[in-house]
Structure 1
Amino acid sequence: MGFLQQADGGTAVKEPCWRGCFSDATFYKRRAKVGDMLIREATRMREIESENAKLKKLLAEAHLNIEALKVASR
């Protein structure tokens, strides 16, 4: 978020990218995703995405367990 704010403040895009060790493409991709969100909104979005990934993993494991039980019961 700080890098996005620096670029919005008038700094050239290449400067924060160079300091942050990421490409211009990564910067623009992130800016398109985050846009004008506040820092707390972006943080909350990251937390939700992390929780979503964990839930997807749990669901996949549950489906594997169900399939294993079906095979074992045959």
Structure 2
Amino acid sequence: MARRRHTPEQIIHQLCEGEKLIGEKFSIEEVCKHLEISEASWHRWQAQYGSMKSDDAKRLKELERENARLKKMVAEQALDIDMLKEVNRGNF
């Protein structure tokens, strides 16, 4: 079976669908089979996205992208500072 990646929005949708099925007295095994995921994925998703709504997942993705951009800027500034210190010492 080929691995596939699900977006956070898809995961949240599947969790909601799974919760409805569990509410209808289906077992977790049956729910996972219906959603075509493993039980490990179900539990991992439940822990990570259990209380999120779709808007929360989108906001989380935005914040992660912003965080990565800021980390890159800090790393570039640190390299610039190191380069300027090296030039200031005359070791170029």
TM-score normalized by structure 1?
0.74
In structure 2, stretches of 5+ residues that fail to align are 1-11, 22-29
Q: Which residue of 2 aligns with 1:15?
A: 34
Distance 1:4 1:42 in 2: 13
- State the identity %: 34
Aligned length: 70
Q: Which residue of 1 aligns with 2:17?
A: 6
Greater C-alpha Rg: 2
- Tell me the CA shift for residue 9 of structure 1: 1.8
Does the CA-based 8 Å contact 2:32-2:38 persist in structure 1?
no
Alignment deviations for residues 44-73 of structure 1 (CA, whole Å, 9 cap, x no partner): 111111111111111111111111111111
In structure 1, stretches of 5+ residues that fail to align are none
Aligned Cα RMSD in Å?
2.0
